[in-house]
A and B are shown apart, each in its own frame.
Chain A
């Protein structure tokens, strides 16, 4: 079964990079993109993704607030944070907000595929710059 993925980041270049990485996987499909948390909520309603790859710091609505809202409305949706913030505290907040995964952008090319694999199977995946945990 194809895993349907929505990419959310305020930088189109980052979304493009994530897309090139994800589209190599035959069972995954990037079904849409959003540039802030509010648009992510709208697109989740329209597109029903299985997994959302979500940045934290975004205009209009940040990723943490979007996650809290989305997890209430769509309990089956799994959220993987991909963020600049290499911080255990931020990671804790992200998981408390309902995220299933947390990956730092500086290591996204290394960790993203394993992270999407894990969260799509409802497993937690976290990887800060200094440590990997799954």
Chain B
């Protein structure tokens, strides 16, 4: 029986590349694709894949929250997170969310097959950096709070995180309400709660928070052209 894989990435080009890579492996099939986290959750519940591969930086519902929702529905889902960054925070959040695999997008061509094989054999797969962090006891330290540490920001609920992401992506409250099948009034209430909890005064604060907490991922543009211009290699 074939191993069935669901792919979730907002770029069709990336999904094509992932599909081409994975379907070369005998015994594996890509049973479905999703272009955002919400669609990924719907399709996973519908198709019951053996492995779900999710991009962290997806619109509407990011990959980390997608992972949390999938595992809330069914703890047996096996999720590999794909990300453009392996910052400590993303690693910690991916592990906390319940991901069983963590692969950098830049290394996906090299690591993804090994990651899927690991999950197929009921093992986990993480990049070497994640393994180093685990060995160094980073995760244990990260979970303790000493009296001298700055108190953490209040935790947002899952719904508040969803709304924070959508607002940070530029959606109005009305648009968020439409996406989440809520009333605009409900979204406005959540928005006020979020702003109050986090002591924010503007949408800009919200966007910065969303970036820092990996609710949205951004790729920075190259620096401006230098006066002397490039030289041949």
Inter-chain contact A17/B13, CB cutoff 8 Å: yes
Determine if A105 and B225 form an interchain contact, defined as CB atoms under 8 angstroms apart: no
Please state if A109 and B222 are interface contacts (CB–CB under 8 Å): no
Q: Is the CB of B222 within 8 A of A11?
A: no
How many B residues face the partner with a CB closer than 8 A? 28
Within 8 A of A (CB), among B79-112: 105-106, 108-110, 112
- A19–B106 Cα gap in the complex (Å)? 17
Name the one of B17, B231, B233 contacting A14, with C-beta atoms under 8 angstroms.
B17
A10-57 contacts to B (CB < 8 Å): 10-21, 37-38, 41-42, 56-57
CB within 8 Å for A17 and B20 given contacts A41-B232, A68-B230: yes
B74 to A: closest C-beta gap in Å: 27
Interface of A is mostly: helix
Closest to B15 in A: A17
- A65 close to B225 (CB less than 8 A): yes
Using A13-B109, A105-B11 as known contacts, say yes or no to A64 and B17 having CB atoms under 8 A apart.
Answer: no
**Is A13's CB under 8 angstroms from B18's CB?**
yes
Determine the chain B residues whose CB is within 8 A of the CB of A122 once the complex forms.
none
Complex CA gap A84/B105 in Å reads: 14
Q: Cβ of A13 and Cβ of B17 under 8 Å apart?
A: yes
Q: Which residues of A contact B21 (CB under 8 A)?
A: 13, 16
CA distance A62 to B220 in the complex (A): 12
- Residue B221 interfacial (CB < 8 Å): yes
A108 within 8 A of B: yes
Across the interface, do A15 and B11 meet the contact criterion of CB distance under 8 Å?
no
Cα A88 to Cα B222 with chains together (Å): 15
Asked, given contacts A56-B221, A106-B11, A108-B13, whether A16 binds B230 with beta carbons under 8 Å apart, the answer is: no
Q: Mark A56-86, 1 if CB is under 8 A from B, else 0.
A: 1100011111101100010000000010110
On whether the beta carbons of A11 and B230 are closer than 8 Å, the reply is no
Contacts of A84 in B (CB 8 A): 219
Q: Verify B230–A69 contact, CB threshold 8 A.
A: yes
Residue of A nearest to B108 (CB): A13
CB within 8 Å for A64 and B16 given contacts A12-B108, A12-B109, A106-B10: no
- Other than the given A10-B106, A15-B17, 18 more pairs (CB < 8 A) read A11-B105, A13-B18, A13-B109, A17-B13, A17-B14, A56-B221, A62-B223, A64-B225, A65-B222, A65-B229, A69-B229, A82-B13, A85-B219, A105-B13, A105-B14, A106-B11, A106-B12, A109-B13
Q: Which residues of B contact A (CB under 8 A)?
A: 10-18, 20-21, 105-106, 108-110, 112, 219-223, 225, 229-233
Which 8 pairs, one residue from A and one from B, show the smallest C-beta to C-beta distance?
Answer: A17-B17, A62-B222, A12-B109, A16-B17, A109-B12, A17-B16, A13-B17, A17-B13
